[in-house]
Amino acid sequence: MIFEKLQSILSVQFNVDKNDISFDTDFFKDLNADSLDIIDLVSTISGEFDLDFDENKISNFKTVGDVVKYIEENTEN
């Protein structure tokens, strides 16, 4: 469920088909994201998942899978 919700968010934010987004999708190489895009994404995800992000961890996010793992580890399922 986390992955599917994240797919939808990314699809809208980056104007791509959600079926083109996988765990291995790289924010920078595949979605052409920049640092402002990541800040916007973190803000959206924070609201959607009721989650506060550790600012030191955000720079470690390279793929969709990295974000899914972070959300899973920091929310109650």
Total domains, the chain: 1
Rounded to whole angstroms, the Cα distance separating 3 from 45 reads 12
Q: How far is CA 58 from the centre of its chain?
A: 10
The pTM of the whole model exceeds 0.75: yes
The pLDDT value given to residue 60: 85
Our answer to whether residue 20 is catalytic in this structure is no
Q: Catalytic pick from 30, 34, 40, 52?
A: 34
Rounded to whole angstroms, the Cα distance separating 7 from 13 reads 10
List pLDDT tens digits, range 39-50: 899 999 999 999
Residue type for position 52: D
Q: Domain of 25: which CATH number?
A: 1.10.1200.10
pLDDT in 10s for each residue of the chain, 77 residues: 899 999 999 999 999 999 999 999 999 999 999 989 988 999 999 999 999 888 788 888 899 999 999 999 988 75
Domain containing 10 equals: 2-74
Specify which residues 63 forms β-bridges with: 26
